[in-house]
Amino acid sequence: MKPPTSWLLTVDWTACDGRGWCVELLPEVLAQDRWGYPVSREDAARAAAARDGELPPGRPSRDIPVPPPMAAHARRAADTCPRQALRLRYVS
């Protein structure tokens, strides 16, 4: 079950080049997959639990819930992404 949230961080994996700056700024929410792309910590844990390190069937979510106390950090990660691959949006 996903925690209640009003913020979503959307990752555009076609724009991202896996530098990891966002993961450094938002480690409570993001982790890197085996290629360096940002995924939710939940998706990273599922991949780590899989035998070969791959995500089980399905794709990681490109819309990652951000707890309200972390919204400012998520905004900074989105604003400083060199490829503009992150977008933070408020969901009412």
Dump pLDDT digits (tens) for 15-41: 999 999 999 999 999 999 888 999 999
Q: Flag whether pLDDT at 1 surpasses 80.
A: no
* pLDDT at residue number 56: 59
Tell me which residue of 84, 68, 62, 66 sits closest to 26, measured CA to CA: 66
Distance, in Å, from the CA atom of 9 to the CA atom of 31, rounded to the nearest integer, reads: 13
Thinking of the domain 7-90, which architecture would CATH place it in? Answer: 2-Layer Sandwich (3.30)
pLDDT digits (tens, 9 = 90+) for 49-63: 776 656 555 577 889
Residue pair 78/9 in contact by the 8 Å Cβ criterion: yes
Q: Model's pTM, two decimal places?
A: 0.83
Give CA torsion, residues 49, 35, 55, 11, to 10 deg: 120
